[in-house]
């Protein structure tokens, strides 16, 4: 049809010249989550490496880093611009256009897997392929504890939580703007209560499908508050040094098996230091080279379970019969494969779908406008 342009490969560029550290952090956090979920196969060359397996789970706090970055980025783009129902509706439509196409596509993949397993009479992992949870997943409510366990594309619980934060964003931003001290005290008190075990088990940083939306709330609010106090953040001395120290603390903490109650606070500190470095425009050449890969964050996050299922489990383990060191090497190879698939998904599927659903007719290549449409995960 006239006027419809076919999708094509695009050159990755940073979404904004102003938030390069946050873009680089998002990419690194996405890779950390991949490591968490690939770790069984990554450690195949080291039988009995239960300690390493357990400690690598500490990298799962990268999701909490996403939530905090999200609160800041959404505030950076929209701030107090959502002053009418029409503006709020446009905001939500763009959020849906960004998140839902890939979510629905990955959900469809796991639905097909479940149907195949059921047709073969095999063990279809009833919890994961619980078709009574299909509608819940389709409308992004799986982070509300409505299913008995993780289901379909299990990582999408965080997208459910993220969408909930988007719905609540105008009220959260208004509360922080109108009552800054009260909001700061309230968020600090909430985190303290959660750290002290205010919620029944599981611990709040362990929550995913089981009310993971409660896990997203503190981090998202921290991001909003950091934006509203950005003038103070811009005065932090040597922000890059603090960022490096915080990243080192996270890596060391994971290596030593520090509890997630500590690691999540470090993740929030990393976010704050990254924001300060960006506000002071302290990005060096390495950060500038990594930042464009931040555009792949959401794709990597949503597609790596499929890469694990197809590339590692089916091809590597079942067809090729790999184990031990060979399986470890194969799993390492799955990392660039996942990134490549994510790039193709962004170019050929997600960007065209986003433009179609958002009703936009803008350029096909991402711009460097700091107020352009951005996304958090």
Neighbours of 203 (CB within 10 A): 16
Q: Which are the contacts of 95, defined by CB distance < 8 A and separation ≥ 6? A: 163, 166, 375
Give residue 88's pLDDT: 94
Inform me whether the pLDDT recorded for 286 exceeds 80: yes
Q: What would the mean pLDDT of 319-338 be, rounded to a whole number?
A: 96
Closest CA to 134 of 155, 110, 117: 110
56-73, pLDDT tens digit by residue? 999 999 999 999 999 999
Closest CA to 12 of 376, 368, 370: 368
The three-state secondary structure class of 161 is: helix
Inform me whether the pLDDT recorded for 365 exceeds 50: no
Chain length of the chain: 377
The three-state secondary structure class of 294 is: helix
Inform me whether the pLDDT recorded for 284 exceeds 70: yes
Residue 112 is inside which H or E element, if any? helix 85-119
Structure tokens at 178: 């109108």
Q: Above pLDDT 70, what percent of the chain?
A: 92
* CA torsion through residues 127, 30, 300, 138, sign: positive
120-140, pLDDT tens digit by residue? 775 555 678 889 999 999 999
Q: What would the mean pLDDT of 163-175 be, rounded to a whole number?
A: 96
Q: Above pLDDT 90, what percent of the chain?
A: 80
The whole-model pTM stands at 0.91
Range of weakest confidence among 114-118, 318-322, 362-366: 362-366
227-281, pLDDT tens digit by residue? 999 999 999 999 999 999 999 999 999 999 999 999 999 999 999 999 999 999 9
Give residue 122's pLDDT: 59
Q: Which residue has the tokens 């599927």?
A: 349
Rg over CA atoms, the chain: 20
Question: Cα torsion for 41, 42, 44, 49, to the nearest 10°?
Answer: -110
Q: What distance in Å separates the CA atoms of residue 267 and residue 247, rounded to the nearest whole number?
A: 8
Inform me whether the pLDDT recorded for 374 exceeds 80: no
Range of weakest confidence among 9-18, 285-294, 309-318, 327-336: 9-18
Q: Which residue has the tokens 């149907």?
A: 115
* CA torsion through residues 45, 51, 54, 59, sign: negative
Q: Which are the contacts of 54, defined by CB distance < 8 A and separation ≥ 6? A: 257
Give residue 370's pLDDT: 41
Give residue 260's pLDDT: 97
DSSP string, 2-49: TTPPPP-------S-TT-HHHHHHHHHHHHHHHHHHHHHHHTTTSTT-
Q: What is the mean pLDDT of the chain?
A: 91
27-59, pLDDT tens digit by residue? 999 999 999 999 999 999 987 788 999 999 999
340-351, pLDDT tens digit by residue? 999 999 999 999
């Amino acid at each position: 049809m006239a006027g419809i342009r076919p999708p094509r490969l695009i050159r990755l560029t940073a979404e904004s010249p102003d938030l390069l550290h946050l873009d680089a952090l998002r990419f690194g956090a996405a890779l950390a989550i991949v490591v968490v979920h690939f770790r069984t196969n990554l450690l195949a060359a080291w039988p009995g490496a239960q300690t390493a397996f357990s400690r690598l789970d500490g990298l799962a706090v990268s999701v909490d880093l996403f939530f905090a970055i999200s609160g800041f980025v959404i505030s950076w783009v929209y701030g107090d611009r959502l002053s009418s129902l029409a503006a709020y509706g446009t905001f939500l439509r763009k959020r849906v256009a960004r998140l839902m196409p890939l979510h629905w596509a990955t959900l469809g993949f796991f639905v097909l897997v479940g149907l195949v397993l059921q047709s073969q009479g095999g063990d279809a992992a009833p919890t994961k392929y619980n078709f009574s949870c299909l509608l819940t997943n389709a409308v992004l409510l799986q982070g509300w504890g409505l299913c008995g366990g993780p289901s379909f594309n299990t990582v999408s619980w965080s997208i459910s939580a993220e969408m909930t934060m988007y719905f609540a964003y105008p009220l959260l931003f208004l509360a922080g703007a109108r009552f800054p001290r009260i909001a700061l005290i309230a968020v600090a008190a909430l985190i303290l209560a959660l750290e002290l075990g205010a919620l029944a088990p599981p611990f709040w940083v362990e929550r995913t499908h089981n009310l993971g939306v409660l896990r997203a709330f503190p981090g998202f609010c921290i991001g909003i508050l950091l934006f509203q106090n950005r003038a103070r953040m811009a005065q932090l001395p040597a922000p890059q040094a603090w960022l490096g120290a915080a990243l080192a603390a996270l890596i060391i903490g994971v290596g030593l098996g520090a509890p997630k109650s500590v690691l999540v606070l470090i993740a929030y500190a990393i976010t704050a230091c990254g924001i300060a470095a960006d506000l002071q425009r302290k990005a060096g050449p390495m950060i500038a080279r990594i930042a464009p890969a931040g555009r792949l964050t959401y794709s990597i996050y949503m597609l790596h379970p499929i890469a694990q299922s197809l590339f590692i489990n089916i091809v590597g383990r079942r067809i090729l019969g790999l184990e031990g060191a060979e399986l470890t090497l194969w799993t390492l190879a799955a990392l660039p494969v996942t990134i490549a698939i994510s790039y193709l998904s962004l170019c050929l599927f997600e960007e065209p779908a986003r433009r179609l659903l958002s009703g936009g007719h803008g350029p096909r290549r991402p711009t460097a406008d700091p107020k352009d449409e951005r996304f958090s995960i």
